[in-house]
Amino acid sequence: MIRQYDSTKSTRIGRLACAGLAAVGLAVVAPVLSAQAGVPSTDTLYDTKTEARGGCPAMDWHVMVHPDKTVNGIVSWDGSKHMAHLTGTMDNKGAFKANAVESEGNKSYPVTGTVDGSTLKAKISNTGTPCDNQMMAVPHVANGVSNG
């Protein structure tokens, strides 16, 4: 007896094999991609002017995140009469720790936060001001335009 070739059965088996391979590939690649989620592949600028909240003055944030997982920039307040230089490092998941060192007086304040997609979220602490632990959302700048 000669069997007739069933192309629908063959196509179904091929689709299942492709789906299985894709699932295995995704299971292997996804952890690697998510581990690098917050780390940019090029220098990335985050820039904004936050609004005053309560006793916390408006602040200008200009922060660059680099592919080598370093973070640096400037935070200013009171109409740019006061400035602090920000330097720190980021882990593979986008969390960073930095110090903001005032240009006058060399006072240093810890800054922690995350980079998630198009927003850098930062909290400054130990300033003794109403700004302590307030989350500041600083949007990514693309082609000279803030996305916030």
Q: What is the extent of the structural domain holding 55?
A: 44-142
In a domain, 120, yes or no: yes
In a domain, 82, yes or no: yes
In a domain, 28, yes or no: no
C-alpha–C-alpha distance, residues 117 and 104, integer Å: 33
Region of 106 (left: φ > 0; alpha: ψ -120 to 50; beta: rest) is left
In a domain, 21, yes or no: no
What is the average pLDDT across 102-127? 92
pLDDT reported for residue 8: 54
In a domain, 7, yes or no: no
Take residue 148 and report the two structure tokens written for it: 């916030």
pLDDT per position as a tens digit, 12-53? 544 544 444 344 443 333 333 333 456 778 899 999 999 998
pLDDT reported for residue 117: 77
In a domain, 48, yes or no: yes
In a domain, 8, yes or no: no
pLDDT reported for residue 41: 83
How many distinct structural domains can be found in the chain? 1
pTM: 0.69
Amino acid at 72: N
In a domain, 126, yes or no: yes
